[in-house]
Amino acid sequence: MVLDADVTAGALVSLAREVLLEYGSLPVGEVGKHLQEAVPHDGLPALLKERFGGLKRFLEHHPEVFMLGRDH
């Protein structure tokens, strides 16, 4: 899932889900902070922006797992 700094979409879904299960409802930025702590990849925010258009858009592409409020 997360090997040698290769971050897959499936790994990010799993990690974000774990973060939310542990901490409950969080703003997108807080989810990002927790993901950055969990993933040994210094450029995670840039990677998310480049590959997925950012964390918010990534989460929005997985409505079967995540529900975003209007005020993220």
Residue spans per domain, the chain: 2-60
pTM of the model: 0.83
Instruction: Assign 38 a pLDDT band (cuts: 50, 70, 90).
Output: confident
Structure tokens at 1: 């899932």
Mean pLDDT, range 19-46, rounded to an integer: 91
For residues 18-53, one letter each, b for 16 or more C-beta atoms within 10 angstroms of the residue's C-beta and e for the rest, the string is: ebbeeeeebebeebbebbbebbebeebeebbeeebe
